Chains A and B, each alone.
Chain A
């Protein structure tokens, strides 16, 4: 399973995305606002989710903002940090 696929499954489960399946999530769709419709509270939850599932700490939201653009961006961010 690719990081992006794993992420989609985690997002649906951990954020209780109602009426959305992992397959429905477009890799490039924005996570916040339009797109998945997440908000500021989901953003901080996402920080915890990344910590819990990937062991990566995101120290502040400036760091998070870039990574949280889309599933593709987040997967790239995670893969990049796991390699280094």
Chain B
């Protein structure tokens, strides 16, 4: 049974990406309006590397002893860092971790360690396959590592729906709270740029030209730069959020039934998940026509967890009441009112739109506390 009267609140944010680590780093990137990408190595192609928004997990040592991480791969480290940052941001007492539900959205899973597992038996024969690599290559390894290291003994869910992983997983996370199955959900999205995913990305889209930045609102060209990272949210029902929070999570819809043309009900501000990929860019332009929009993907790059970073950005806007500038907002080539930055967010919800190249969509609505 759901309880439509109880509102869901975002209490804490943990984010790690090409912009840095933590909600303050994200806020700084949003205010500054630009993040320069780093490089990711491409060992399997003639091109040696390409521009990418890479995430560093060195600060994980502030939360966990090095010994606890000896078997933990980059993918799970990203998730563990995001998780700890979100709990620290919400100042959740340690005693409240036991009942946490954990919901993870990941487009591709632990691809680096999956590749390493295959290496182990390709190199030395099937009898030398590494069981440790195998155990860490399961898709829910990040959720498992989080539950183990935090002692989070509520239900655990990992969802993999490529670019719609975030809205899809968030739909169920919200259900758990409305059904009172759990008191709190630690929701996170994570993906890594491994040897495999960077190679795949390069093959699909080609490396970005040197020195260029993503121009997601210019739909006529492919300007995407891949990213990796983790964005986590601590969610609870409103009555639990007496000690603050960012905003409410009012609705999540996802499916394949978005009518063609502009969105029928345009929110006060619409954050687009457009990330510089031409194929989906056209869909965004069509849906967002006539809306008041913002788009922050150039600060973290193109990746399945993108919508979780969008949610974090929208949460920061709703808390301060002021919109951040849209990077290269003047490059918008479709009829929409691009937020310049500095203006009040105004009444009405903030919508987060995610579209994929398979007729799928996700629309998440956030409101002020």
Contacts and interface: CB of A to CB of B under 8 A. Distances in A.
Q: Do A and B come from one complex?
A: yes
Interface of A: 15-19, 37, 41-42, 44-45, 48, 51-52, 57
9 contacts: A17-B70, A18-B66, A18-B67, A18-B70, A41-B132, A45-B130, A48-B131, A52-B124, A57-B127
B129 interface: yes
B131 A44 contact: yes
B128 A52 contact: yes
Interface of B is mostly: helix
Interface in B105-127: 120, 124, 127
A51 B131 contact: no
B71 interface: yes
Contacts, number: 31
A48 B70 contact: no
Contacts of A52: 124, 128
A17 B129 CA distance: 20
Given A18-B67, A18-B70, 7 more contacts: A17-B70, A18-B69, A41-B131, A45-B131, A48-B127, A48-B131, A51-B128
A15 B66 CA distance: 13
A2 B231 CA distance: 49
Contact of B67 (A19, A42, A45): A19
B71 A41 contact: yes
Contact of A41 (B66, B67, B128, B135): B135
Given A16-B71, A41-B71, A41-B135, A51 B127 contact: yes
Give the 10 A-B CB pairs with smallest separation, nearest first: A16-B70, A44-B131, A18-B66, A52-B128, A18-B70, A45-B132, A18-B67, A52-B124, A48-B128, A45-B131
Contacts of B71: 16, 41
Contacts of B70: 15-18
B258 to A, nearest CB: 45
Given A41-B71, A51-B127, A52-B124, A19 B132 contact: no
B132 to A, nearest CB: 5
Given A41-B71, A52-B124, A19 B66 contact: yes
